[in-house]
Amino acid sequence: MKKHILEISGVRKQYNSVSLLSDVYLKVETGNIIGLFGRNGSGKSTLFKIIFGIEDASEKSIFIDGICKNNSSVLNHISYLHQNQFIPKHLSVKQSILLSIDKQKVNRFCDDKFVESILKTRIRHLSYGEIRYLEVKLVLFNSSSFVILDEPFSGLSPKMSEIVKQLIQENSEEKGIILTDHNYENVLEISTDLLLLKEGKLHKIKDKAELLESNYLKNPATF
């Protein structure tokens, strides 16, 4: 299977003349799961939105397989799970699946005891955790080569979190995935590479010990 490479470079973002992101560089290849860490307010979600093209940046360059992409063409290559619910509440689960993924993937998507049990249910009648699970799976089953996941484990039960970790790992065989989550243990468990966003820049880290040394795990609630 051909490898695909996403490169983001020179990302700069300021708020009220205060620098949030400064010359950020990030490289993701299909087969990689990048775990992103950083304190609240460090710019993780902002960086994700800039990559996906829904947040402006004073500077940024995005390349896919060495070809420069603008915001509109990036949408064909990157799927993004943001923190807010994106499935219209009036749809049924089955309708949301049919509208979101390729027809040839529908049967495989629905080969899931939980999904089977809610196919006829309206989104408005699902719990937050149920919706989150459905959203994560829809994003992972998109045909894009790269996936950005912002808080994919939010509201999930321990059992569903285990299923989502497995889904992420399975899909990483053909996709490049970047994720961040307050539940840092889940991120550490499945990531192939770890990055820390600190003072506007990305720093490569080796393991949990380096996060402890940087005082980022003293209080996990501050992530």
Distance CA 20, CA 6 (A): 22
Q: Which of 201, 101, 107 is nearest to 144 (CA)?
A: 101
- Supply the pLDDT for residue 221: 46
- Supply the pLDDT for residue 18: 85
- Supply the pLDDT for residue 218: 60
Residue 142 and residue 78 in contact, taking contact as beta carbons nearer than 8 Å = no
Q: pLDDT over 90 for what percent of the chain?
A: 78
Domain assignments of the chain as residue spans, ordered by start: 5-214
Residues 35, 50, 7, 14, CA torsion sign: negative
Q: Which residues does 135 contact at the CB level (< 8 Å), separation at least 6?
A: 81, 85, 86, 87
Mean pLDDT of the chain: 91
Q: How confident is the model at residue 179 (pLDDT cuts 50, 70, 90)?
A: very high
Superfamily of domain 5-214: P-loop containing nucleotide triphosphate hydrolases (3.40.50.300)
Ramachandran angles phi, psi of 206, nearest 5°: -95, -40
* Segment among 32-46, 66-80, 103-117 with least mean pLDDT: 66-80
